[in-house]
């Protein structure tokens, strides 16, 4: 485990030595702030409009449905684009710079390399999502959102981000070109997003499969405040599967080196 943490720390420092770490982090926070304050302003306009109508019931309006759930949905799409930018360097840069062989000849096991690089990506997305917690904190100070629903929603976003990191690392382990790695990861993540679209017109066995494979279906459940073991197993299985595939890809490259 110590070797994996050493690799993770090295990669994490490398991410923030280059501009890409700061660009991705700043871009994510700017977009999150834009979405949040626009959704909040829209909610305030609706409340003011209905409050001006005598006899109108406004109890059905709440911050979770109007602000938090749309915010999380928007951020999930942003993560589809930004996470591949974070992970594209993890293995592809090692190949392009010729340091892959140094890793293989060092007293490191393949699973330590894979785990270390995954932990580095997880640290970045953890920082990204942790910084967005300022927005629910604002709502808690000035409003009355349902804390349980917000917690479940942000947990869903976090688990989704961890899965995206695993996908991005797998794509990076397949090539020495960082652009190819980013585009490949983007395509896979988009497929996981839209795979449920034809489910309504599919037969029952296929419909069940498409809905289960879709990352949006599991994330949507948690964004609504429902923490189901099925969704947790899905995210855990997805992370484990792509880490295993990454291990196999790195192991194959090791034998070829």
pLDDT tens digits along 13-34: 888 887 888 888 999 999 999 9
Sequence-distant (6+) residues with CB within 8 A of 172 are 87, 88, 89, 90, 91, 92, 178, 181, 185
Distance CA 240, CA 74 (A): 26
Distance CA 32, CA 74 (A): 8
Say if residue 122's pLDDT is above 60: yes
Amino acid 226: pLDDT: 84
Distance CA 250, CA 182 (A): 17
Percent of the chain with pLDDT strictly greater than 70: 93
Band of pLDDT at residue 246, cut at 50, 70 and 90: very high
Mean pLDDT, rounded, for 99-115: 79
Angle at alpha carbon of residue 109, lines to 108 and 115, rounded to 5° = 100
Say if residue 141's pLDDT is above 60: yes
The structure tokens listed for 168 are 């991005």
Say if residue 100's pLDDT is above 80: no
Amino acid 211: pLDDT: 85
Structural domain total, the chain: 1
The sign of the dihedral angle between the CA atoms of 241, 128, 185, 214 is positive
Query: Helices marked H in 52-174 — which ranges?
Result: 63, 69-87, 92-97, 100-105, 110-132, 134-142, 147-172
Closest CA to 70 of 38, 48, 26, 29: 38
pLDDT tens readout for residues 37-70:
999 888 888 777 766 665 555 544 677 788 888 9
- Where b means 16+ CB within 10 Å and e means fewer, 106-129 reads eebebbbbbbbbbbbbbbbbeebb
Domain boundaries, position 197: 2-256
Amino acid 37: pLDDT: 92
Amino acid 56: pLDDT: 53
Say if residue 112's pLDDT is above 90: no
**218 within 8 A of 231, measured Cβ to Cβ:** yes
Angle between helices 19-51 and 134-142 (to 10 degrees): 20
State whether residue 207 is helix, strand or coil.
Answer: helix
pLDDT tens readout for residues 152-175:
999 999 999 999 999 999 999 888
55 φψ region: left (φ > 0), alpha (ψ -120 to 50), beta (else):
left
């Amino acid at each position: 485990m110590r070797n994996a943490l050493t690799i993770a720390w090295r990669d994490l420092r490398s991410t923030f030595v280059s501009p890409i770490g700061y660009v991705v982090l700043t871009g994510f926070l700017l977009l999150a702030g834009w979405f949040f304050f626009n959704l909040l302003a829209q909610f305030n306009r609706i409340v003011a409009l209905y409050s001006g109508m005598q006899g109108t019931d406004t109890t059905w309006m709440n911050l979770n449905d109007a602000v938090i759930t749309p915010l999380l949905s928007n951020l999930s799409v942003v993560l589809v684009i930004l996470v591949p930018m974070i992970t594209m360097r993890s293995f592809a840069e090692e190949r392009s710079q010729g340091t892959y062989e140094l890793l293989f000849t060092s007293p490191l096991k393949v699973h330590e390399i894979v785990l270390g690089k995954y932990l580095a990506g997880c640290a970045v997305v953890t920082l990204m999502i942790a910084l967005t917690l300022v927005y629910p904190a604002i709502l808690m100070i000035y409003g009355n959102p349902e804390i349980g629903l917000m917690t479940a929603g942000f947990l869903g976003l976090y688990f989704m981000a961890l899965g995206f990191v695993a996908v991005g690392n797998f794509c990076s382990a397949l090539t020495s070109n960082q652009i190819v790695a980013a585009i490949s990861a983007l395509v896979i993540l988009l497929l996981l997003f839209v795979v449920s679209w034809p489910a309504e017109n599919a037969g029952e066995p296929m419909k069940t499969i498409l809905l289960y494979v879709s990352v949006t279906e599991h994330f949507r459940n948690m964004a609504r405040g429902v923490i189901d073991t099925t969704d947790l197993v899905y995210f855990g299985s997805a992370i484990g599967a792509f880490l295993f595939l990454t291990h196999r890809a790195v192991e194959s490259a090791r034998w070829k080196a």
